[in-house]
Each structure stands twice: as C-alpha cells, then as structure tokens.
Amino acid sequence: MASVLFYMFAGLAIGGAIGVVMAKSPIGSLLFMVTTLGAMAGTFVLLEAHFLAAIQIIVYAGAIMVLFLFVIMLLNLGHDYQKDLKGGAFAVISFGITGVIAGFLARELGTTGIQDGPGGASIDALIAEHGAVGAIATELYTTYVVPFEITGILLLVAIVGALVLAKKEV
Amino acid sequence: MITEALVLSAILFVIGTFGVLVRRNAMIMFLCIELQLNAVNLSFVAFSRMFGIEGQIFVFFVMTVAAAEAAVGLAIIISIFRHYETVNVDSFNLLKW
C-alpha cells in the first residue's frame, strides 16, 4: 500500500517538475511547481517526516509560491515564449550535461547499496515518545540551538536586504 | 523505500538543472532552483531513515534559507525589471566584455 502511494506521488512529482520546465506561461509553471511540492509532501509523510510535510505545504506551497505569484503578476510576464526557451545546440549541450549528472547520480546510487539503517527505528521511538513535532523540537532546541538562532539573524538580514533592494530610490 | 526516494530526488534534481540551463525567463530559472533545493530536501529526509533525526532538522534549516533566498532574489528581479523592463537573462550583459 505504502509503495503504491509512493509511486503515485513520485509520478505526480516528476510530471509536475517536467511541467515547471516546459509550461508556456510562468503562472502555469508555478502551478505545476505547487503540484510537485504537494506530491513531495506526500512522500515526506510516507518517510515518517510528518512535521516537515506540514511545513512543506504551509511554508513552501503556501507562502513562498504565493510570493512568486505576486511577483509574476506584478511584472506581467509570459508573453514571449518563443524567446524564452533556448533552442538548438544549447539545448542539446544542456541535455548532455544533465545526462552526465544523472549518470553519476545513478552510478552512486547503484554502488552504495542503500540499506534501512538504525535511523528509522530511532525516529519511530522519538515520535512515540515526544510526538511528531516534539521529535524535531527537542533536538532543534538543544543540540542545534546555535544554528537555529543564526537562522533568525539570517531572516532579519534577508528582510532588510529585500526592502533595500526593492525600494525605488537607493 | 529509501532507494526509491533517493532515485526520485536525483530525477527531480536533474530536471531542475535542465530547467535552469534551458530557460531564459529569470522567474522560471528561480523556480527551477527551488525545485533543486526540494530534491535535496527529499534526499535529506530519505537519509534520516538511515542515520537519525538530524536529516529532518537540516531540511528545516534548508527551508528557512530557501525562504530568505526567495525574498532577496525576487527583490533583485524586481529591481532589474525596473531598469530593463524585461526579465530575459540574455538582456543583462553589463558584466560581459
């Protein structure tokens, strides 16, 4: 059952990703991206990362994609599809480059021999003890508290930087 | 399940790379970069099934950095659009010689 669901979500994610690259209008591209993000949230649930699945929907598909949508509609883009896709030799070269990357990735995946390690059982124990949110939160606020605070500073800098960049007269 | 998730992550990453290389619209290139970030997130989650909860915590950090990156990158695209009235990346050749 779980593997059937996984293949369903995987097909949806790959179809959405191809749609992102090939869609004619930027709005369509963005809606395909939302599909991909939703399908990936489904795979997160199947991999027992429930909190991350919720965050994926709320933050990524909700907040970040709406930000993209605002900008696309603000700039009124998407009337020159012919000039948008790079054709000819460049597309062939890009296809070759991505093919080489895919080949390396496939070879790595083939040689390492992935096994279900001890991590799965430990995560299941953590979720049973603290709940799906608590399992991440206990680790995040004890071992990784310094990176967490640095993330807060990063967000502050990003807010100030975005304001300065988007202002009319600088 | 872990192997399948890693294969899916690799496929999504490659599609994202192809999109960045082949499109000229800066917004769609940016969307494809987000796709690559998500592919890496998926492989982090898959590896958390092998090595413990740390993978999920790093996904949390990656999502925060992606949010910050989206805000700053969209601000840059807007300010470029103000100057050139387009977001076609072939029009920005100020640094070329």
Nearest CA in chain B to A110: B3
CATH number at residue B55: 1.10.287.3510
Give me the pLDDT at residue A125, please. Answer: 79
For A122-140, letters b (16+ CB in 10 Å) and e give bbeebbeeeebeebbeebb
- Which residues on adjacent β-strands are paired with residue A80? none
Give me the pLDDT at residue A112, please. Answer: 65
ipTM: 0.89
* Contact between B53 and A119 using a beta-carbon 8 Å cutoff: yes
Domain extent for B13:
2-91
Question: Can you read off the two tokens belonging to residue B37?
Answer: 């970030």
* Contact between B22 and A117 using a beta-carbon 8 Å cutoff: no
Whole-prediction pTM value? 0.87
Q: How far is it, in rounded angstroms, from Cα B62 to Cα A147? A: 12
Question: Can you read off the two tokens belonging to residue B72?
Answer: 């700053």
As for how many domains chain B has, the answer is: 1
User: Mean pLDDT by 10-residue block, N- to C-terminus, for chain A (170 residues)?
Assistant: 87 93 87 93 89 91 90 77 68 80 75 66 79 85 91 93 80
Give me the pLDDT at residue A39, please. Answer: 93
The average pLDDT across B35-60 equals: 89
Give me the pLDDT at residue A37, please. Answer: 93
Give me the pLDDT at residue A100, please. Answer: 84
Q: B89 and chain A: CB distance < 8 Å anywhere?
A: no
Q: How far is it, in rounded angstroms, from Cα A4 to Cα A36? A: 17
Residue B43 lies in a domain: yes
**Residue ranges in A56-144 assigned as alpha helix (H):** 65-75, 81-84, 88-112, 119-142
Q: What residues in B contact A18, CB-CB < 8 Å? A: 15
Mean pLDDT of chain B: 87
Residue B97 lies in a domain: no
Q: How far is it, in rounded angstroms, from Cα B46 to Cα B56? A: 9
pLDDT greater at residue A78 or residue B28: B28
Q: What residues in A contact B34, CB-CB < 8 Å? A: 33, 60, 64
DSSP chain B: -HHHHHHHHHHHHHHHHHHHHHB-BHHHHHHHHHHHHHHHHHHHHHHHHHH-THHHHHHHHHHHHHHHHHHHHHHHHHHHHHHHS--BGGG--TT--
Q: B84 and chain A: CB distance < 8 Å anywhere?
A: no
Q: B37 and chain A: CB distance < 8 Å anywhere?
A: no
Question: Can you read off the two tokens belonging to residue B71?
Answer: 């805000």
Residue A115, SS3 per DSSP? coil
Residue B20 lies in a domain: yes
Q: What residues in B contact A24, CB-CB < 8 Å? A: none
Q: How far is it, in rounded angstroms, from Cα A36 to Cα A47? A: 16
Give me the pLDDT at residue A167, please. Answer: 80
Please say whether the beta carbons of A30 and A78 come within 8 A: no
